[in-house]
Amino acid sequence: MRTTLIAALLLASPAAAETFAIKAGHVITDAAKPALGPSTIIVTDGRITAINPASAPIPAGAILIDQSSRTLSPGLIDSHVHLTGDPGTPFWREAVDSAELSVAYGMKNARLTAKAGFTTVRDLGSARLAGFAVRDAINSGLFPGPRILAAGPALSIVGGHGDTSGFLPAVNDALDQGNTCTGATECTARVREASQRGADVIKFTATGGVLSQQGRGLDQHFTEDEMRAIVTTAHSLGLKVAAHAHGPRGIEAAARAGVDSVEHGSFIDDAGAKVLAGTKGWLVPTLMPFRYTAEQLGKGVYTPVVEAKVRAILARRGKQISIARAAGARIAFGTDAGVFPHGRNGEEAADMVEYGGMTPRDVLISATTGAAELLGLSSEIGTLEPGKAADIIATDGDPAVDAKQLAQVRWVMARGKVVE
């Protein structure tokens, strides 16, 4: 009887809080502000509870983590990834590989992404339920990985970028993801269906795309009425909208429809940039694919249709950033990881400086407070302060001065758990 009573009391007692004390040489609490000197960040049950001077006493029972030779910064945010795929996979594998296999790829890539310092990502395209499965497994604590906002399959016009093509009609039909729509009414329905399946964000392909087998160009695909229906419906459901857009008129139309972000923006012009700035939309420039796709040309990796589009776009690297910024549009960090190997996300930062003319501090802002605002998560992530999630990275140098530090992250904590 006594043993049973003790066991019941133990089960009823709350679990002891897990507290970490993380020693830092410098702490960047906000990328727009000067760094603090030697400090100790206190984390309890996944949240920051204090940021103290290094001389302050450490709470009793806290687990000490010594990063005192390094700079601690907010966990990085990648606003555009594809976790459930790897680069260089032949397009015909789409007709062979199962959705279950793509979930396995997603778990592998989620861990690589978190280890690289990216503690939050937007997954902007996966098989119908695969991205949601990866998100939910990580949220349940089954696997290590970043916080994920998942879109599921991007909405596409019939035969456009995002629609299955390149196979016999019967195979195309068998692989259909139910993500195409024609006309405002059908596009409205597709948004509602994506919401029903569990989408955190809506993505649609406003223009043609580079790596799909469709050969219908890189400019506007959806009509403006269809775009407005997608955006209005998503916003009415509390969902933000990301528009894949390369061509100038597709970018301008998507911005006019009120999208929250334009992804890629490769051929943006002054007119499109002005509209995007006027609607307070964001540009997610994704420069890393330029580097990776250029390396694959002439090697038989891409079909002739795809290779022609790759060659057309290569001269535009970084130009979208300078044009957008000149018009006053905001930049959020995003890489399109999955087009290039996962885990190399941080290399985007140096390209944004070299090709886009941004300063390292501007890049760090785009990968922390900027991206957090785009994702609607500013109250949870983007800065280091009491009450926020303990998403923290350590670098040997100062990433606000040297953008290459974001590709050399030495230690990561995601939601209070050290990523091994």
Given a contact cutoff of 8 angstroms between Cβ atoms, the answer to whether 284 and 261 are in contact is: yes
Fill in the amino acid letter for 188. Answer: T
> What distance in Å separates the CA atoms of residue 345 and residue 9, rounded to the nearest whole number?
48
Are 39 and 145 part of one and the same domain?
no
The CATH number assigned to the domain holding 48 equals: 2.30.40.10
- pLDDT greater at residue 176 or residue 263: 263
The pLDDT, as a whole number, for residue 15 is 53
Do both 91 and 68 map to the same domain? Answer: no
Place of tokens 């999208």: 259
- Tell me the CA distances in angstroms from 328 to 270, 278, 325, 369, one per residue in order: 11, 8, 5, 17
- Span 22-54, pLDDT tens digits: 999 999 999 999 999 999 999 999 999 999 999
Task: Determine the pLDDT at residue 377.
Answer: 98
Pair 181, 215 in one domain: yes
Q: Which two tokens stand for residue 278?
A: 């006027």
φ, ψ dihedrals at 330, nearest 5°: -95, 150
The neighbour count for residue 16, using CB atoms within 10 Å, is: 8
Residues 63 and 81 in one domain: no
- The number of domains in the chain is 2
- Give the pLDDT confidence of 211-245 residue by residue, as tens digits: 887 777 899 999 999 999 999 999 999 999 999 99
Q: Are residues 211 and 354 in the same domain?
A: yes
Q: Is the pLDDT of residue 201 over 80?
A: yes
Tens-digit pLDDT profile for residues 359-404 = 999 999 999 999 999 999 999 999 999 999 999 999 999 999 999 9
Q: Looking at residue 140, which CATH number applies to its domain?
A: 3.20.20.140
* Percentage of residues of the chain with pLDDT beyond 70: 95
Could you report the per-residue pLDDT of 287-309, keeping only the tens digit for each?
A: 999 988 888 888 888 888 888 88
What's residue 357's pLDDT?
97
Q: Which of 375, 393, 410 is the C-terminal boundary of a domain?
A: 375
pLDDT at 142: 92
Do residue 297 and residue 391 come from a single domain? no
Same domain, 88 and 67: no
What pLDDT digit, counting tens, does each position of 117-136 carry? 999 999 999 887 999 999 99
Structural domain that includes position 37: 2-75+383-418
Say whether both 50 and 190 belong to one domain. no
Cα torsion 229, 135, 344, 20: sign: positive
Residues 316 and 399 in one domain: no
| Cβ neighbours, 10 Å, residue 149 | 23
Task: List, for residues 47-90, the tens digit of each pLDDT value.
Answer: 999 999 999 999 999 999 999 999 999 999 999 999 998 887 76
Q: Is the pLDDT of residue 248 over 80?
A: yes
Shared-domain flag, residues 206 and 344: yes
**Could you tell me where the DSSP H helices lie in 140-296?**
169-174, 183-197, 224-236, 248-257, 270-278, 288-296
For residues 216 and 122, state if they share a domain. yes
Whether residues 138 and 155 fall in one domain:
yes
* Average of per-residue pLDDT values in the chain: 92
Q: What is the pTM for the complete model shown?
A: 0.93
The radius of gyration computed from the CA coordinates of the chain, to the nearest angstrom, equals 22
Question: What was the pLDDT predicted at 252?
Answer: 98
